[in-house]
Amino acid sequence: MERVEFGFPELSLVCGALLYGHDSTAIGITLCVIAVLGAVCRSIIRIQKKAQEEEAKQALFKEVGTASEDLAQAFSEIFKKPGKPKTFH
């Protein structure tokens, strides 16, 4: 569940809407555009951060898988039963 956040873009949007309604059209529209651009940039940064975290998790899982394969191979070499070499006559 996403948490509700009231940051710079939201504050700019509220102020822009209030200024637009009180006959300051240019400043109101400017603040609304800045608010939209700020919200879009914030969303892009969050999506990129989640993608980087997912890539890091996948790399870690791959590394753990490789390490477990190496460990299994090492244990199989340690516990290999020495026996007579099989020869055919």
**pLDDT tens figures, 6-63:** 899 999 999 999 999 998 899 999 999 999 999 999 999 999 999 999 999 999 888 8
Instruction: Assess if residue 86 is contained within a domain.
Output: no
Show the CA angle centred on residue 36, arms to residues 53 and 3, nearest 5°. 50
Listed in sequence order, the residues at least 6 apart from 13 whose beta carbon sits closer than 8 Å to its beta carbon are: 31, 32, 35, 36
Tell me the residue type at 36.
Answer: V
* 20 neighbors 32 (Cβ within 8 angstroms): yes
Residue 77 has pLDDT above 80, yes or no: no
- What domain range is 41 assigned to? 8-74
What was the pLDDT predicted at 11?
93
Task: Calculate mean pLDDT across residues 77-83.
Answer: 71
Instruction: Assess if residue 24 is contained within a domain.
Output: yes
Identify which of 39, 35, 4, 41 has the alpha carbon closest to the alpha carbon of residue 18.
35
pTM of the model: 0.64
What was the pLDDT predicted at 82?
66
> Token pair 């340690």 is at which residue?
78
Domain count, the chain: 1
Instruction: Assess if residue 68 is contained within a domain.
Output: yes
Instruction: Assess if residue 64 is contained within a domain.
Output: yes
